[in-house]
Amino acid sequence: MKISYYLPTGTTHEFAGHTNPVTAFDKLLELAQVADAAGFATIWAPDHFIPFGPSGSYVFEAWTTLAALARETGTARLGQLVTGNGYRNPALLAKMASNLDVVSGGRLTFGIGAGWYEDEYRAFGYDFPGAGERLRRLEEALQIIKELWTGKPATFTGRYFTTDSAVNSPTGVQLPHPPVMIAGGGEKVTLRLVALYGDLCNVQEPPEQVRRKYGILARHCDTVGRDFSAITKTSTTYCIIADTDEEARAAVPTWAPLVFPGDLAAYGLVGTINTIRERLDGYRDAGVDELIVGFGNALDAETLRTFADEFIVN
């Protein structure tokens, strides 16, 4: 099981109290470089514009952040966890992804999802239709993006999006295109979209639910004639390292239920080194190929080094 890094861009108020955005971004750069050197497989950036809960502290935009980091890292892959489809026109997204793949020397994993943070949509003036429509929009976007990645003129007339002989050049470095990660555990639609269009999936739930969702994905793959083993299965978790399990549990943030279903302290990487090792086994046993880890002590580079020394085999 590969271990990847969830880059703290400010969504959970990591930069509360910071008054110099340049210094704050320098800290992001330091963390990314440490993660790159320590052997984390991918550096994932969340695509949000405001923090969860009260606004006011810095949040760095994902795509421009990753473009900057692409020139300052050399080994780790780079991706979005995940692009909110409603924030950018899909033809533009295809162009942005191709360009970032070039800038990074072919290290982009393109993450995308239907979008979920309604407060953010409303604040920035985006429509926030119901879940069904957001998923239909996502499917059209995936069709447009993949067609534009061929480099051929792309004409698409959908219910929500259109293109008219759009040409995307350069198309990127990776062939046939950057791998696509689709996030979400929706059993009827989202996991079907993974079977149809995804190279990776991301399910952010307790390991027993992750295992169950992968089983549903396997059935969708059978239905559409897709090889389930060809899809990289990922999940996202949160790490708090402490001297005792009780101390770690007490440090679980109040915002955790907004993004991690259930009792994060009971299944996340929350506890002593030995507890975390057992929890990692739980994700591995659930079928996770790549585990994406965010850290409670988010801006402390030494925490990354400690974790990597214990759990990443280079």
Note if the bond before 8 is cis, omega within 30 degrees: no
Q: What residues does each domain of the chain span?
A: 2-311
Q: What is the CA radius of gyration of the chain?
A: 19
CA–CA distances in Å: residue 122 to residues 90, 125, 140: 20, 5, 22
pLDDT < 70: residue spans in the chain? 314
Amino acid identity at 246 = E
pLDDT at residue 53 in the model = 80
Residues 196, 113: Cα–Cα separation, whole Å = 14
CA–CA distances in Å: residue 23 to residues 20, 26, 90, 269: 5, 5, 33, 29
pLDDT at residue 314 in the model = 62
Please state which CATH class domain 2-311 belongs to.
alpha beta
pLDDT tens-digit series, residues 252-267: 998 899 889 999 999 9
